[in-house]
Amino acid sequence: MNIEDKADVRRRYLEVDTSNVGDALDELGYLDQGLAPEFSPYPATAGRLAGWAYTIRGQMSPYELGGDAEKMRACQQLQPGDISVWSGDGEGICYFGELIAIGMKERGCAGALVDGGIRDVSWIGKQDFPVYARYRTPVQSIARWKVNAAQVPVFLRGATTKLVRVNPGDFVLADEDGAIVIPAKVVERVLVEAERLTEKEKAIRSDLETGLSLQAALDKYGHV
């Protein structure tokens, strides 16, 4: 898929809900793609998150105070439309804050999905850079947690299964209902079905607003 096509897919995904994407994935047999309910937008007004997964993995590794060179190298490889997907075992610490968020945005990164913590939430909110994470914390990663790989398969906490595998190039979508991962090989099929469900829901809402009863709508449109 070329850059223009990827940008168009991302634009279209921003117009559908995670709930419809989840239903489309179910129909294709992908039943465990939802992420844990703890994933939330930071700040709460962050808006929707949509883009192609660029994975970053780290682990608790005590070291001398100073920068994390691997983290910086990983972030420098981000491309426009990517979502940086952070995984690891860093309970209680943040994986990044305001300055790295600014650096990611400068490279065209469309946001971040963090199976861990972030900080500088109010300042990140001023960057128009959506971040979904499991928690926020003032405790930095420096001297505690280091990046050890990028663009490798990672595993994030799931909603209906313990872990959800995220491969580089999968698609990430998050909104008010939560976050979900669409495997790369079905990104376009899921999108077409989610768009169909979206149009169906719009028609139902329109009929309900003009006085059609819920039962009549179900009789007309079937299961939703």
Whether residue 115 is annotated as binding a ligand: the answer is: no
Residue 58 neighbours by CB under 8 Å, 6+ apart: 71, 86, 87, 88, 89, 90, 95, 141, 145, 146, 147, 148
Phi (first) and psi of residue 210, to 5 degrees = -95, 10
What is the DSSP secondary structure assignment for residue 42, as one 8-state letter? Answer: S
CB 78 within 8 Å of CB 96 = no
d(CA 141, CA 117): 9
Whether residue 99 is annotated as binding a ligand: the answer is: yes
Whether residue 97 is annotated as binding a ligand: the answer is: yes
CB 148 within 8 Å of CB 74 = no
d(CA 149, CA 91): 18
145-150 vs 131-136, strand pairing mode: unpaired
Q: Which residues are annotated as a binding site for Mg(2+)?
A: 120
Q: Which residues are annotated as a binding site?
A: 97-100, 119-120
Q: Which residues are annotated as a binding site for substrate?
A: 97-100, 119
